[in-house]
């Protein structure tokens, strides 16, 4: 009986391992498909003029519950992490220190393409920004969030570069986790400040993630083509 149970458990683990291996081998395609589906679902609701339940819940939490005079300056500082000045400085640092043939160009081309894509999508959808509870002045349309797209594209590319080219140590995980936190924080800051709906932010994340799935496969290696570290002692 014990042997039969062990065989059953082993048989159950086999397909699971196969599914996990398939997902790992096709991670980019999986990310692209999931992000596209989520974006199209959000787009359909927005084009119908709907305020999603997600938007209402986010407004109640971030605007009605979380807002305070003490927290607002912190959030404004967070949202500035996706500003032109901050990203230009970071791009210059990357160009000087990152490995590869032209890491600065890798970051710049990525950022320019995402900004252009955001402008096109906003011009097509033309969703008005939230009214009545903005803490900062913003112009233009709302969907998808430009700050969210830029943060995901820029810091997401940094995560890819660090994970691929940094030596396999604890700091690699720390830096990737830090930049992931920055991405999420920038997106949430746009909701808190009242300049975007939550669906704008989620859509922006999805578009840039789908873009990165393509960019890191087809374009980025042309600029930063170096060997990935093979062991824990590999160089950055």
Instruction: State the 10-residue block means of pLDDT for the chain, 236 residues long.
Output: 51 56 71 93 90 90 91 94 89 79 88 95 93 85 94 94 81 92 96 94 96 92 67 41
The answer to whether residue 230 is domain-embedded is no
Number of independent structural domains in the chain: 1
User: What per-residue confidence (pLDDT) applies to 137?
Assistant: 83
Give Cα separations from 121 to 3, 34, 72, 141, 203 (angstroms). 59, 19, 29, 10, 11
User: What per-residue confidence (pLDDT) applies to 191?
Assistant: 95
What pTM, to 2 d.p., does this model score?
Answer: 0.84
User: What per-residue confidence (pLDDT) applies to 230?
Assistant: 46
The answer to whether residue 49 is domain-embedded is yes
The answer to whether residue 232 is domain-embedded is no
Enclosing domain of residue 204: 2-223
The answer to whether residue 85 is domain-embedded is yes
The answer to whether residue 231 is domain-embedded is no
What are the backbone angles phi and psi of residue 22, rounded to the nearest 5°? Answer: -65, -45
User: What per-residue confidence (pLDDT) applies to 37?
Assistant: 94
Helix 170-192 × helix 198-218 angle, to 10°: 140
User: What per-residue confidence (pLDDT) applies to 136?
Assistant: 86
Cis peptide leading into 23, omega within 30 of 0? no
């Amino acid at each position: 009986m014990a042997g039969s149970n062990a065989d059953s458990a082993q048989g159950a683990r086999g397909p699971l391992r196969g599914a996990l291996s398939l997902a790992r081998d096709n991670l980019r395609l999986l990310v692209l498909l999931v992000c596209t589906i989520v974006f199209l679902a959000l787009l359909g609701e927005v084009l119908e003029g709907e305020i999603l339940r997600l938007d209402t819940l986010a407004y109640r939490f971030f605007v009605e519950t979380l807002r305070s005079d003490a927290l607002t300056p912190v959030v404004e500082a967070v949202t500035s992490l996706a500003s032109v000045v901050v990203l230009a400085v970071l791009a210059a640092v990357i160009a000087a220190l990152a490995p590869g043939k032209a890491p600065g160009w890798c970051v710049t081309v990525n950022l320019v393409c995402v900004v252009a894509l955001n402008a096109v999508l906003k011009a097509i959808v033309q969703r008005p920004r939230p009214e009545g509870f903005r803490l900062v002045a913003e112009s233009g349309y709302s969907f998808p969030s430009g700050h969210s797209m830029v943060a995901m594209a820029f810091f997401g590319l940094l995560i890819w570069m660090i994970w691929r080219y940094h030596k396999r140590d604890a700091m690699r995980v720390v830096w990737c986790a830090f930049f992931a936190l920055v991405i999420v924080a920038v997106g949430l800051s746009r909701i808190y400040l009242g300049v975007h709906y939550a669906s704008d932010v989620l859509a922006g994340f999805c578009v840039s993630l789908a873009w990165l799935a393509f960019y890191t496969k087809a374009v980025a290696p042309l600029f930063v083509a170096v060997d990935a570290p093979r062991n824990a002692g590999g160089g950055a």
